[in-house]
Amino acid sequence: MRSRFLVHSASWRGFVHRGSAIPELAGHYFFADGGTGGFVRSLRYDRDTGAVSDTTTWPGLAEFGITSFGIDGEGELYFCSAGDNAIYKIVKAN
């Protein structure tokens, strides 16, 4: 008898934040794993040196079940949420 089990399903996607509303995030590549135990992280990558820096995990964003990222005409970052089928803009916390 053969059995197949789905152990982990992942969906990777990401976008570089190039907006000016949150200067400290400019140049961060945001990516998400929308599978089981999903997460959202960001990092900076230096093309000249190959160095990765400012790696950050965003647990509050993972709760949304991000399915995709996008940017507007000003480079501000948005994401789509599978949890409520909505689009959210990433803004600075108060």
C-alpha dihedral (61, 65, 70, 76), degrees to nearest 10: -20
pLDDT at residue 35, rounded to an integer: 60
Q: Domain range holding 63? A: 12-89
Number of folded domains in the chain? 1
List the chain residues with pLDDT less than 70: 1-13, 34-37
pLDDT at residue 78, rounded to an integer: 93
pLDDT at residue 64, rounded to an integer: 84
pLDDT at residue 1, rounded to an integer: 41
Quick check: is 1 in a domain? no
pTM over 0.85: no
8 Å CB contact between 69 and 13: yes
pLDDT at residue 77, rounded to an integer: 93
Quick check: is 42 in a domain? yes
b/e code 35-45 from CB counts within 10 Å (16+ = b):
eeebbbbbebe
